[in-house]
Amino acid sequence: MPQGAHRRPPGERVYGTGPAAPRPWGEVEGGEAPDALSLYVHIPYCARRCAFCDLSAGRPRGPEEPLAYLTALRREIVRAAEEEPDLRGRPAVTAYFGGGTPTSVQPEGLAGVLWLLRNQFALPDEAEASVEADPGTVGQETLWALRRAGFNRLSFGVQTLDDRVLRRLGRLHDAARARAAVGWAREEGFAHVSVDLILGLPQVSRAAWRETVAEVASWPVDHVSVYALQVEEGTAFGRRQRAGLLSLPPDELVVEMGDEAEAVLAAAGFERYELASYARPGGRCLHNEGYWTGRAYRGFGAGAHSYVGGERRWNTRSPRRYIAAVVGGASPVAGRERLAGEAARAEAAMLALRRDRGIERAAFARAFGVDPAAAFAPAWERLQEAGLVTVDGERIALSGRGRWLYNRVASALLP
């Protein structure tokens, strides 16, 4: 799932008062410069809409639109590098192309954008460069071209290996195609390959789920993301649910199936390092770790979010409006906000809790000038009583049960 294009209504919002807190507030394995920067590129096109998806993605209006979009992307990148003082001289450490379906545009187009990022932001050749791919829209030649372009990490949206369910979801691939795509990725030399799965899909039996996870765990991949299904308004699933036609597994079963997935993945050497993310040694997604630890990021494209210099802003979601704005020399920014004070601390705590390391008390206190145990004392007390978090001298972390009830924990921290 894309990380840089979220669903936030346009508009300007400022939370709290006072200067924005310094970042980052947590550590990334191996360490990195405090002013490290991530780069995100959003490709908003998909061949068709999946039944569960409410992300910023759709079909282009015509065959020329993706080309115009790539031109606008390149312009936004060059302009940002030349005109945004907060970006100057910062070490770019990761690039991530998400969507939508990045592989719905020609690999040469993606290659040109990655080349430009390297050129404008001194992104090292060996830095993690990820691209999301739909197994249904890539052949081995596409993967060859992406690898030659310098991408070294592929993230496949597989979701399930039950062909009947894949058809109902509106996916373009079947299980055989997903297997083949992962094999091609390894043949073409991608150092890191990730697979996304969705937990709690309708009509996926416990046995079928177990088979999917067990098979994926046996693949030559070093990362698996397991997202719990969320039924959103405005999606085909949302409409079916409102009409009473969507039969979802009960919460307890979802929790059991999630635990089962964790156990199967752990037996195959995958560590759960974030709520939805499992990695073999060396396979953690460094780009996503940046979101959870407060690393600055600059997102390009329709609907892309940026967080630089304490300000978060987001571009217009419409590809047409985005192209018109950038090509016309105007700003594509649709809204901005500056988190500060209590709101900034709460967001940092919520994001840090997603990681297995939890909130590192010392790092948090350095960034915000207050021990997180004291900043949210009444909330921790309630959450400890409910068995959802653990607090010790070094860190505050979710309990096993808290990992499945994260939304309850997060809402207890909201100011």
Residues that bind ligand SF4 (CB under 6 A): 46, 49-50, 53, 55, 57, 99-101, 134, 157
**Per-residue DSSP letter, 87:** G
Residue 299 C-beta: closest distance to ligand SF4, Å: 16
Residue 61 C-beta: closest distance to ligand SF4, Å: 17
| 1 CB-side CA count, 13 A | 19
| CB nearer ligand SF4, residue 3 or residue 293 | 3
Residue 389 C-beta: closest distance to ligand SF4, Å: 32
Q: Look at the chain and count its residues.
A: 415
| CB nearer ligand SF4, residue 53 or residue 302 | 53
Provide the token pair at 11: 């508009």
| CB nearer ligand SF4, residue 53 or residue 334 | 53
Residue 201 C-beta: closest distance to ligand SF4, Å: 12
| CB nearer ligand SF4, residue 293 or residue 315 | 315
Instruction: Please identify the residue of the shown chain whose CB is closest to the bound ligand SF4.
Output: 53
Print burial letters for 208-243: b (CB count within 10 Å at least 16), e (below 16): bbebbbbebbebebbbbbbbbbebeeebbbbeebee
The three-class DSSP label of residue 55 is coil
| CB nearer ligand SF4, residue 134 or residue 347 | 134
Distance separating alpha carbons of residues 209 and 320, to the nearest angstrom: 39
Helices (H), 122-228: 140-149, 163-169, 175-187, 206-217
Please list, in sequence order, all residues whose beta carbon lies within 8 angstroms of the beta carbon of residue 171, skipping any fewer than 6 positions away: 50, 134, 136, 157, 159
Please list, in sequence order, all residues whose beta carbon lies within 8 angstroms of the beta carbon of residue 299, skipping any fewer than 6 positions away: 4, 5, 39, 40, 41, 42, 305, 306, 314, 315
Taking each helix axis as running N to C, give the angle between helix 341-353 and helix 361-368, from 0 to 180 degrees, rounded to the nearest 10.
Answer: 160
Residue 47 C-beta: closest distance to ligand SF4, Å: 8
| CB nearer ligand SF4, residue 187 or residue 233 | 233
Residue 136 C-beta: closest distance to ligand SF4, Å: 9
Residue 59 C-beta: closest distance to ligand SF4, Å: 10
Q: In sequence order, what are the beta bridge partners of 315?
A: 333
Integer Rg of the chain from CA: 21
The three-class DSSP label of residue 355 is strand
| CB nearer ligand SF4, residue 131 or residue 264 | 131
| CB nearer ligand SF4, residue 50 or residue 397 | 50
Q: Tell me, rounded to whole angstroms, the distance of Cα 318 from its chain centroid.
A: 20
Residue 24 C-beta: closest distance to ligand SF4, Å: 28
- Are 332 and 322 spatial neighbours (Cβ–Cβ below 8 Å)? yes
Residue 101 C-beta: closest distance to ligand SF4, Å: 5
> Residue 91 phi/psi, 5° resolution?
-75, 115
| CB nearer ligand SF4, residue 139 or residue 369 | 139
